[in-house]
Structure 1
Amino acid sequence: MGLLVNTRKPGALAMARFLLEWGMSSGVSFILPPHEASVLGIQGVDDDEWRKMVTVAIVIGGDGTFLRAARYVMGAPVSLYGINLGHLGFLASGKAEEAEKDMESILAGEYTLQPHSVLEGEIYRDGKSIHTLFALNDLVLAKGAMARVMHIEVCISGKVLNTIPADGIIVSTPTGSTAYALSAGGPIVPPHIPCTVIIPICAHTLYSRPVLAGEKDVITLTPRGYHR
């Protein structure tokens, strides 16, 4: 079993030490990557070896820690369980006071897996792909520090939806619907619903609304005018 910890939170470090002590008394070994191992003063393994050895990882922190853990295990067959020591707990929903009971349930196989969609984004310039991105929550095209409103053409699987004057566009997974997308007026979508949410940011129009696209749809955002 792996252990990923927000080492900047004293409460998370205390919980990690509690689980390590519980593991020693229960015959359970926790595998730590280099950073956590160094902070907690125990032996760990390198990152690649950790991803090969671990199938279930306990994430101690808040939703931000859970998102960092999701990026860390991207592409590896590692399931994550979060113990929330942050504020929201949408992703890291486990309670600190129930940690020992939850560990026993996981070891006994008494749990269900909840798959979460991941976005894959490609940035194109002059017709060539220059960067690939992956996101558990959302991908955002925004105007940055520029004062002008952007005009963004939105296409869904090759069909033009609209050109939207806005500060930007959020493309969100159901998991991300409770994050930035929610602040921009998007709907809350349960993680098991296979869809992608498109939300304009501060659209300068009376008719622009969030749109649901299919999980497999290819969404293309193209800046027009001054922002090409």
Structure 2
Amino acid sequence: MKRCLIVSNTSKKIAYSLSKEIEEFLIPYEISVVFSQFNGENRPLNLEHVNFIVTLGGDGTVLYAARECAAANIPIFPINLGEFGFIAGIQPEDWKYELEKFLDGKETITKRSLVNGAVCRNGKELINCNAMNDVVISSKAVARIVSLNVKAGAVNFGEFKADGIIVSSPTGSTAYSAAAGGPIVDPRLDSLVLNPVSPFSLSNRPLVLPPEEVLTIRVLPSRNAEIVVSWDGQLHYDVEVGDLIIIKKSALFVRLAGCETDKFYKALCSKLHWSGGPHA
């Protein structure tokens, strides 16, 4: 018997009742259901014998599930109960139709690339994680400038003084990076976006880099700043002066149902209030 894992965001009131509806819907398909809750904490998911995951929440719930299931190559069926829904592309009113297509093998499954970030100290790797949206290096406190030396391959970009640095995937280009003035990248493209947050120098601009690029970021002494690396804003690790953060495109992908390109652009038009031009 196939098994479905339903991951529900505890802040969404409708999530529990909807999860029970989905469980009942899957009975004729002889698919058993197990449940998990996401409350913002980065807890491991039990993916034993799971064939697919249904997320009930916003993009944050998808990010949580994606980091867990990418290595297992388990597809995600993301139902949007949040506000933006750039990643969670299936609307609540459409879930039955879309899920039936998915179970019949007629739903489009798209692959989204991940960003890999590793922290090294004195030649030893301390942590290595993937992120669907971005890896961010910043101060733990608000309004504290951090100093970071950035290299792309053998090219030294020099010292960046900024509130932080975002390295995002194309999927993550619509998230924190976009809010920090970065470019929006079609998720079908293979690339990395390097985006300084409020840089001290106006010459530090966002860059779109090829997928094979490897970024090496060294933590430099910063006045009154404790520095942290975060993956998708959900997993955090404190770093010290001299630590290296190695960021590159991950070898893994996330498989998403119902996230076709037209839905991505419709979300852009809707969420960014694109009107198509000025009107006299």
TM exceeding 0.5: yes
Please give the alpha-carbon distance, in whole angstroms, between the structure 1 residues aligned to 2:143 and 2:107.
49
Paired residue secondary structure (2:16) = helix
Could you tell me which residue of structure 2 aligns to residue 31 of structure 1?
A: 33
The secondary structure found in structure 1 opposite 2:26 is: helix
Q: Does 1:166 align with 2:168?
A: no
Q: Is the 8 A contact 2:146 2:161 kept in 1?
A: yes
Q: Which moved more, 1:180-189 or 1:127-136?
A: 127-136
Contact 1:52-1:76 at 8 Å conserved across structures: no
* CA apart distance, 1:27: 3.3
Q: Are 1:119 and 1:173, in contact at CA under 8 Å, matched by a contact in 2?
A: yes
More helix by share: 1
Partner of residue 81, structure 2: 85
2: CA distance, partners of 1:27 / 1:207? 58
Which residue, out of 10, 13, 18, partners 2:21? Answer: 18
**CA–CA separation in structure 1 for the residues paired with 2:118 and 2:216:** 9
Q: How far does the alpha carbon of each residue in 1:37-65 deviate from its partner, in whole angstroms, 9 at most, with x for none?
A: xxxxxxxxx954xx242232221111111
When residues 210 and 148 of structure 1 are mapped into structure 2, their CA distance, relative to the original with a 3 A threshold, is same
Aligned residue number for residue 192 of structure 1: 188
In the alignment, which residue of structure 1 is the partner of 2:208?
212
Equivalent runs, 1:21-60 vs 2, <5 Å: 21-24=24-27, 26-33=28-35, 35=36, 47-48=45-46, 51-60=47-56
Q: What secondary structure is seen at the aligned counterpart in 1 of 2:94?
A: helix
CA-to-partner distance for each residue in 1:149-184, whole Å, 9 max, x for gaps?
322211111321232221111111111111111111
- Quote the offset at 1:86 in angstroms: 0.9
1:203 aligns with one of 189, 199, 202: 199
Distance of 1:226 and 1:64 partners within structure 2: 31
CA distance in 2, matches of 1:30, 1:61: 21
Aligned to 2:134: 138
> More strand by proportion, 1 or 2?
2
- Structure 2: which amino acid aligns with 1:20? E
Judged with a 3 Å threshold, the aligned counterparts in structure 2 of structure 1 residues 89 and 148 are, in CA distance, closer, same or farther, namely closer
| Identical-residue share of aligned pairs (%) | 32
- 1:146 Cα offset (Å): 7.6
Is 1:97 paired with 2:100? no
Point out which structure has higher relative CO (alpha carbons under 8 A, 6+ apart).
Answer: 2
Mark the CA change 1:47 to 1:200 in structure 2 (over 3 Å): closer, same or farther: closer
User: Aligned pairs, how many?
Assistant: 215
1:43 corresponds to: none
User: Any stretches of 5+ residues in structure 1 without a counterpart?
Assistant: 37-45
Q: Secondary structure at the match of 1:19?
A: helix
8 Å Cα contact 1:168/1:200 also seen in 2: yes
| Structure-2 separation of matches of 1:109 and 1:148 | 50
TM-score by length of 2: 0.71
Tell me the TM-score normalised to structure 1 length.
0.86
User: 1:94, 1:15 → 2: CA distance?
Assistant: 14
Change (3 A) 1:19 1:148: closer
Render the CA deviation track for 1:58-114: whole Å, top value 9, x for unaligned. Answer: 211111111111123241120111111111111111011111111110111112221
Question: Where does structure 2 lack aligned partners over 5 or more consecutive residues?
Answer: 38-43, 224-240, 242-280
